């Protein structure tokens, strides 16, 4: 028998609400807002309340997919990244840096968001940066 | 106060009377529910009074139901305040928990919490820690009752209008155990759209709290819009007592109300 509550942070937006995931025999089964979290003080929105639902979803991507002959095909990370770099380079050379845009995320850390804007501005040369929280 | 609970839990675990104890633990700077299974590892156990009395209470009976459904043959201990005990009794009465499989370890709430909760009985029948505080009447209800009915209705419409439909009141409620919830039924409500239908969404839930709400107040605390749900459900409980002479969780453990179906008495 295993029943645990795991303290974590909601992944849905940038607020960072504190919550506990209830884990029963290795499966995440429920969400409980953390009463002592200074961010949300024991409250959650409807998304936060259901954050446990996607964890074991069979619809989650588990490996990179590349569209080959119209079909999404599982490929290695190396192949996926090489293809992405090749196409981004081709597009930039043909149409200029401002034909590319970067979408940052509220679900990652400040440091990772810093990196993507730095990459966009310094490496690629565009100010086209937006983020997923503009919903 | 927590040392007395720890001693009791340690004895229960060592004697093998319980498989685990569902209580609260402070870990990583936060307080949350925790299932203690090792008598030698009760470090960090708290009663939920971090900065002020009762500021980190959780619906432990709800978590207990979840565990008991997976392990129906095991006996578990659970920390209870007065409201939690009322909850246990009502859940026993509606066959959601087996009284032979639950050992409660009681604490009495301090007066400050009893005052804030307007609690009619801020202590369980038996408790190992705390001193029994005095009961308090429902001043919040009396204040609203003193208003004209039209004004009262306007107050509630204004309160409900802030609802963001997070379903937090339903989700945190230790007495909400239905597999199919009316608040998610398309036959009764517009599902998946905002704003929440006013006042139908909240009145639907209020009706379902009749004969069920044990006045723990967690719904009030969880509401991001600060809707005074507890006051609403206190009023519902008053009406149920007046009409049916029943208040959930009071009286003998496992007792059911004298009626089978709410409303049956009114038909005769």
Would you list the domain boundaries of chain A?
3-54, 65-131
Q: Do B166 and A37 touch (CB under 8 A)?
A: no
Searching chain A, which residue's CA lies closest to the CA of residue B222? A43
Predicted local distance difference test score (pLDDT) of residue B268: 47
Backbone φ, ψ for residue B29 (5° rounding): 80, 0
Specify the range with the lowest mean pLDDT, choosing from A49-53, B126-130, B248-252: B248-252
Enumerate the residues of chain A whose CB falls inside 8 A of the CB of residue B56: 35-36, 42
Q: Do B164 and A46 touch (CB under 8 A)?
A: yes
- Asked if the C-beta of A111 comes within 8 angstroms of chain B's C-beta atoms, the answer is no
**B255: confidence class by pLDDT, cuts 50, 70, 90:** low
Mutation choice for A interface testing from B77, B166, B172 by most A CBs within 10 A: B166
The share of chain A scoring above pLDDT 90, in percent, equals 87
Mutation choice for A interface testing from B44, B164, B171 by most A CBs within 10 A: B171
Residue A26, min C-alpha distance to chain B (Å): 13
Searching chain A, which residue's CA lies closest to the CA of residue B55? A35
Q: Do A22 and B74 touch (CB under 8 A)?
A: no
- CA distances in angstroms from B28 to A7, B20, B52, B244, listed in the order given: 8, 22, 19, 47
Enumerate the residues of chain A whose CB falls inside 8 A of the CB of residue B167: 46, 49
Q: In this structure, are strands A129-131 and B30-36 parallel, antiparallel, or unpaired?
A: unpaired
Residue A36, classed as helix, strand or coil, is coil
Residues B133-159: what's their mean pLDDT?
97
Look at the domain A3-54 and name its fold: N-terminal domain of TfIIb (2.20.25)
Q: Which residue among A3, A7, A22 sits closest to B30, beta carbon to beta carbon? A: A7
Q: Token digits for B188?
A: 């009764």
> Does residue B7 contact residue B26 with C-beta atoms inside 8 Å?
no
> Does residue B128 contact residue B107 with C-beta atoms inside 8 Å?
yes
- CA distances in angstroms from B76 to B20, B44, B57, listed in the order given: 5, 19, 19
Residue B246, min C-alpha distance to chain A (Å): 31
Residues B90-99: what's their mean pLDDT?
93
CA-nearest of B113, B204, B139, B138 to B167 is B204
- Asked if the C-beta of A8 comes within 8 angstroms of chain B's C-beta atoms, the answer is no
Q: Do B166 and A45 touch (CB under 8 A)?
A: yes
Enumerate the residues of chain A whose CB falls inside 8 A of the CB of residue B70: 1, 24-25
**Quick check: B254 pLDDT over 60?**
no
> Does residue B117 contact residue B136 with C-beta atoms inside 8 Å?
yes
> Does residue B39 contact residue B10 with C-beta atoms inside 8 Å?
yes
Q: Do A29 and B66 touch (CB under 8 A)?
A: yes
Searching chain A, which residue's CA lies closest to the CA of residue B56? A35
String of DSSP letters for chain A: --EEEEEEE-SSSTT--EEEEEEETTEEEEEEE-TT-TTTTT---HHHHTGGGGTT-TTS--S-EEEETTEEEE--HHHHHHHHHHHHHHHHHHH-GGG--EEE-TTS-HHHHHHHHHIIIIII----EEETT--
DSSP H/E element including A3: strand A3-9
- Asked if the C-beta of A36 comes within 8 angstroms of chain B's C-beta atoms, the answer is yes
DSSP β-bridge partners for residue A68: A71
CA-nearest of B54, B25, B31 to B230 is B54
Distance CA B263, CA B268 (A): 10
| Rg of chain A (C-alpha set) | 19
Residues B215-232: what's their mean pLDDT?
97
Enumerate the residues of chain A whose CB falls inside 8 A of the CB of residue B71: 1
Mean pLDDT of all residues in chain A? 94
Query: A71-96: per-residue pLDDT in tens?
Result: 999 999 999 999 999 999 999 999 99
Query: A46-64: per-residue pLDDT in tens?
Result: 999 999 999 999 999 999 9
Measured in Å, how far apart are chain B's first and last C-alpha atoms?
Answer: 51
> Does residue B167 contact residue A49 with C-beta atoms inside 8 Å?
yes
Residue A112, min C-alpha distance to chain B (Å): 24
- The complex's ipTM? 0.91
The dihedral built from the CA positions of residue A26, A32, A38 and A43, taken in this order, carries a sign that is positive
> Does residue B58 contact residue B32 with C-beta atoms inside 8 Å?
yes
b/e per residue, B73-107, with b = 16+ CB within 10 A? eebbbbbbbbbbbbbbbbbbbeebbeeebbbbbbb
Task: Give the distance from CA B142 to its chain's centroid.
Answer: 22
Distance CA B220, CA B114 (A): 15
Q: What is the pTM of this model?
A: 0.88
DSSP H/E element including A103: strand A102-104
Searching chain B, which residue's CA lies closest to the CA of residue A20? B32
Q: Do B164 and A45 touch (CB under 8 A)?
A: yes
Q: What is the DSSP letter of B259?
A: -
Specify the range with the lowest mean pLDDT, choosing from A58-67, A125-134, B155-164, B252-261: B252-261
């Amino acid at each position: 028998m295993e029943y645990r509550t795991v303290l974590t942070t909601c992944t849905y937006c940038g607020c960072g609400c504190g919550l506990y995931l209830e884990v029963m025999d290795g499966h995440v089964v429920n969400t409980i807002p953390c009463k002592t979290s200074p961010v949300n003080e024991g409250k959650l929105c409807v998304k936060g309340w259901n954050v446990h639902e996607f964890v074991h979803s069979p619809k989650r991507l588990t490996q990179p997919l590349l569209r080959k002959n119209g079909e999404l095909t599982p490929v290695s990370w190396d192949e996926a990244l090489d293809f992405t770099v090749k196409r981004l380079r081709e597009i930039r050379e043909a149409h200029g840096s401002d034909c590319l845009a970067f979408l940052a995320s509220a679900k990652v850390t400040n440091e990772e968001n810093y990196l993507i804007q730095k990459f966009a501005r310094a490496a690629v040369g565009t100010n086209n940066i937006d983020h997923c929280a503009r919903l | 106060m927590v040392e007395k609970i720890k001693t009791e839990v340690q004895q229960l675990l060592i004697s093998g009377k319980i498989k685990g104890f569902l209580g609260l633990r402070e870990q990583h700077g936060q307080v949350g529910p925790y299932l203690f299974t090792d008598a030698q590892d009760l470090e960090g156990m708290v009663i939920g009074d971090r900065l002020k009395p009762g500021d980190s209470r959780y619906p432990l009976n709800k978590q207990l139901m979840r565990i008991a459904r997976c392990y129906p043959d095991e006996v578990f201990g659970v920390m209870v305040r007065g409201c939690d005990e009322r909850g246990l009794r009502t859940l026993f009465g509606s066959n959601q928990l087996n009284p032979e499989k639950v050992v409660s370890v009681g604490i009495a709430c301090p007066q400050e919490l009893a005052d804030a909760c307007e609690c009619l009985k801020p202590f369980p029948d038996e408790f190992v820690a705390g001193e029994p505080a005095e009961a308090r009447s429902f001043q919040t209800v009396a204040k609203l009752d003193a208003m004209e009915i039209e004004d009262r209705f306007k107050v509630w419409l204004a309160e409900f209008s802030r609802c963001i439909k997070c379903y937090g009141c339903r989700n945190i409620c230790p007495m909400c155990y239905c597999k199919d919830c009316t608040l998610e039924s398309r036959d009764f409500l517009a599902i998946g759209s905002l704003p929440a239908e006013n006042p139908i969404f909240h009145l639907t839930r209020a009706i379902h709290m009749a004969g069920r709400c044990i006045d723990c107040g967690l719904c009030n605390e969880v509401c991001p819009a600060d809707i005074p749900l507890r006051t609403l459900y206190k009023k519902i409980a008053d009406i149920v007592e007046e009409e049916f002479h029943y208040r959930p969780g009071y009286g003998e453990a496992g007792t059911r109300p004298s009626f089978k179906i709410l409303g049956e008495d009114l038909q005769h």
